[in-house]
Structures are given as structure tokens and as C-alpha cells.
Amino acid sequence: MEGLVLVLFIFLFGSFNLSADLKSYAEQSVAKAITDPARFFSELKMDSEVVFPVNSGKRYTFNINFLPSLFPFTYLNSSFNYCLYKEGRLYTSFPQIDLIGGAAYMIGGDILANATDDVNKISVYGYHLGFVFSDSFESKIRIYYGFKHSYTLSRLKLSSSKKHTFLGVNITDFDSRFSDNILVFGVELLKELNKYWSINVSYGISRQTIVYGVGWYGKWFMMGFNFYPEGIIQIHPYWGMRLGF
């Protein structure tokens, strides 16, 4: 437990630029988000893109990310990992093949547009599609590797009647898309019955998305940390549901 507290402490400190005071840090972050809003919203969505391989003995997993995708980022999200081919069915060493996919829609945009006259419309949504191979080594360890295409669209239409600023940064309309073709590879360890531990790295070939993460998952839930070293929020602790059938 002490180790976890230490990890959290250092990671959270490490995720901020401490040279700036909080206001200027916030201003820089807002400016960065405005420069490439779709990338910013894509980073917020990416925790819901589950790449863990389907468990041995299961046909598919159904996943929902509660923290941080649903709360506080207000993404209604779900993803589905379907095992197309079980390892060793035809050839003893042919890897398991999973198809992965999911979608997310930011409902907070609609709430904000209805709650204020400044915003006419906000639309943020996206999807991901891909495949994951997984190879067993010994009885408890699997290496997995794959590919996913991630897409996010973000639109903001502001009321034209006045100038809009947020933390000193001018906000204007935007309509942008972010898509990246991402390589994924990682390792999964079965610690005990229905308790898994995993580390993975994702790298975007097209837009240089960089994510690395450590996760724990069991029969019902998954949790862990994703790190976005190029992101506005560099550390994303996450918690969600992951059901296998």
C-alpha cells in the first residue's frame, strides 16, 4: 500500500510542469487543447480503448470505462473484444486473434450546449477498431501485439454575439478530426485465478500518439494507470468494468 501511495505521489507530481504557477499551467494547457482539440479529446477517450486480450476460456469481453472516461470526461463508452481464433486450435503455436472495437460519445457537450447561451453546439465522439494477437509462454504468461485505428471528431460552435475567453485564452469555433494508426504490444501475467496483471505500450505511426500503461484486471473490473508523456494530462488512473463471456 505504501508503495502505491509513493507511486501516486511521484506520478502526480511528475505530471505537472511545476515551474509555472497553476494559472499559467492551466493557460498553457487550454492553449494546447485549442491548438489541436481533436488530439486533446482523443487522449481523453483513449482510456476506453481496451486492448487486453480475451481471457483463455472466454469468447469475448465487454468493457466500459467508468473513470476517467465516463466520469469526469462524460464519455458514454463501451468496447468489445471478440476472440476470432483460439490459440492452438489449428496449429499448436498459432496465436490467438482478437478483433477489438468500440465507440465513445461525450454527452457533456450536449449538457453544456443546453446549459449556456455561449455555446450553440459541441460534438465530440469517436471510435476504435483493430486486432490483437496473443501468444502463450509457459502457462501464465502471454505476449500480445496488434494494431488499432483510433478516430475522434470534435466540433465546437460558439455563439457569435460575443468574444469568448477561457483562462485568458481566446476560444474560437473548431471542427477537427484526429485519427492515428497505433501499434500495440504488451505482456499479460496470470497472477492467480481470474487475476491478471499487464504492461503495454502503444505508438501511433501517423500522429505519434505515445501511451504506456500498467493494469490489473479480474473477473469483473479493470484498473491501472495510463501514461501520456506528450499529453496535457500525463497520468490517467483508470477503473472500469471488463466482463468475459
CB of 125 to other proteins, least distance (A): 25
Of 111 and 141, which CB lies nearer to other proteins in the complex structure?
141
CB of 31 to other proteins, least distance (A): 8
Give me the residues paired with residue 156 across strands.
122, 174
Binding residues for other proteins (CB under 8 A): 3, 6-7, 10-11, 13-19, 28, 31-32, 35, 91-95, 133, 135, 137, 140-141, 143, 145-147, 183, 185-187, 189, 191, 197, 199-201, 203, 205, 208, 210, 212, 214, 227, 229-230, 234-235
Interacting residues of 163 by C-beta distance below 8 A, sequence separation 6+ = 170
Q: Do residues 201 and 211 make contact, with C-beta atoms less than 8 angstroms apart?
A: yes
Cell of 240: 472500469
Question: Using the 8-state DSSP alphabet, how is residue 231 labeled?
Answer: S
CA distance 105 to 151: 12
Of 120 and 194, which CB lies nearer to other proteins in the complex structure?
194
CA distance 39 to 152: 8
Of 111 and 189, which CB lies nearer to other proteins in the complex structure?
189
Of 66 and 227, which CB lies nearer to other proteins in the complex structure?
227
The span from the first CA to the last CA of the chain, in angstroms, equals 32
CB of 25 to other proteins, least distance (A): 11
Of 1 and 18, which CB lies nearer to other proteins in the complex structure?
18
CB of 76 to other proteins, least distance (A): 29
CB of 58 to other proteins, least distance (A): 21
Q: Is 39 helix (H, G, I), strand (E, B) or coil?
A: helix
Of 7 and 243, which CB lies nearer to other proteins in the complex structure?
7
CA distance 208 to 78: 25
CA distance 97 to 131: 7
CB of 140 to other proteins, least distance (A): 7
